């Protein structure tokens, strides 16, 4: 079946169950799923039940779509994301974002847990994503272009909307959160980086590294969605620490920042531009 037809069928299934039209999509990263619990009168759909959706196989990712009101904003939250390293194709990884586009979502917030490439970006700190570097060669836009979504060659000069970034900075400052701003490097995983790779990414201009987000952002930009990205720095990158790295540690940091992270996102959503 053609990709566009799969997106239509999945979107139709979701639309049948929802009782509002979501304007904002939110992707919650590793250990950062708690915000979904704040959604009022949620309609919750398991990824398993949606035609052509893949399930999340990673600990810390629930695999549920939550639709409802959050801070007076109709939202569609992906509680748990899909990663390329899970063995999925890029089309499968970004399928939920394409459904969001088809369902009329206008903007996207992406969050993730990331490793630091720079001593100034410490575990527990939040980082507003200013730009990214894609180290994975495969693009979600490779193959037949869906012209009704966006152009064959899409512009990436301002993937993380400048106006929304300013808004996010104001919200962080009002809450007394010391949020950094930096460049996110997308590595394929699932192995963590070597110390040399971490050094290389720092030299290239990166501040944080992770295994997600960029495919979703490229797809959202292609579809004309405004994007905000926030990383939770979960650990120092390999070589900037003397301990081996373990996924449990990353989930734990997500728990530690849960309150401030939720408060920041709620504040940003409250102030989100009305049109």
Among 115, 140, 206, 215, binds ligand HPA (CB under 6 A): 115
| CB of 64 closer than 8 Å to CB of 79 | yes
Residue 12 is among the residues annotated as catalytic for this protein:
no
Residues 6+ apart with CB under 8 A from 203: none
Is the torsion defined by CA of 27, 28, 33, 38 positive or negative?
negative
Token pair listed for 120: 């100034």
DSSP for 12-69 reads HHHHHH-SS---EEEEE-TT-GGGGGG-EEEEEEEGGGSTTPPPP-STT---EEEEEE
Residue whose CB is less far from ligand HPA, 25 or 237: 237
The residue among 119, 29, 80, 59 whose CA lies nearest residue 246 is: 59
Which of 11, 56, 219, 235 forms a contact with ligand HPA (CB under 6 A)?
Answer: 235
Contacts to ligand HPA from residues 27-66, by CB under 6 A: none
Which is the catalytic residue, given 10, 11, 30, 184? 30
- Is 61 labeled as catalytic in the residue annotation? yes
**Residue tagged active-site, from 135, 247, 260, 263:** 247
CB of 132 to ligand HPA, least distance (A): 13
User: Cβ-closest residue to ligand HPA?
Assistant: 115
Asked whether the beta carbons of 261 and 126 are under 8 A apart, the reply is: yes
Token pair for 55: 């399930």
Question: Would you count residue 7 as binding ligand HPA (CB under 6 A)?
Answer: no
Site string for ligand HPA, 192-231 (x = CB under 6 A): xx---------------xxx--------------------
User: Using CB under 6 A as the criterion, which residues of the chain lie in contact with ligand HPA when the complex forms?
Assistant: 113-115, 187, 192-193, 209-211, 234-235, 237, 245, 250
Residues recognised as catalytic: 30, 61, 83, 85-86, 113, 211-212, 235, 247
């Amino acid at each position: 079946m053609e990709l566009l037809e799969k997106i239509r069928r999945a979107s139709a299934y979701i639309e049948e169950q929802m009782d509002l039209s979501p304007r904002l999509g939110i992707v919650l990263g590793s250990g950062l799923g708690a915000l979904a619990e704040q959604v009022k009168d949620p309609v919750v759909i398991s990824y398993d039940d949606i035609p052509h959706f893949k399930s999340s196989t990673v600990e810390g990712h629930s695999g549920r779509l939550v639709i409802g009101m959050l801070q007076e904003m109709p939202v569609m939250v992906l509680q748990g994301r899909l990663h390329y390293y899970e063995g999925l194709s890029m089309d499968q990884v970004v399928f939920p974002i394409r459904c969001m586009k088809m369902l009329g979502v206008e903007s996207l917030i992406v969050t993730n847990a990331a490793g630091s490439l720079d001593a100034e970006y410490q575990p527990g700190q939040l980082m507003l994503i200013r730009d990214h570097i894609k180290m994975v060669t495969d693009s979600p836009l490779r193959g037949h272009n869906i012209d009704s979504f966006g152009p064959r060659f899409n512009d990436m000069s301002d993937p993380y909307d400048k106006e929304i970034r300013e808004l996010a900075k104001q919200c962080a400052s009002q809450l007394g959160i010391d949020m950094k701003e930096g460049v996110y490097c997308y590595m394929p995983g699932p192995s963590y980086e070597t110390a040399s790779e971490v050094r290389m990414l720092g030299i290239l201009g990166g501040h944080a590294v992770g295994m997600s987000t960029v495919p979703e952002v490229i797809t959202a930009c292609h579809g004309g969605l405004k994007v905000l990205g926030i990383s939770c720095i979960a650990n120092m990158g390999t070589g900037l620490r003397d301990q081996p790295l373990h996924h449990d540690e990353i989930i734990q940091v997500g728990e530690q920042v849960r309150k401030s992270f939720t408060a920041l996102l709620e504040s940003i959503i409250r102030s989100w531009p009305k049109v």
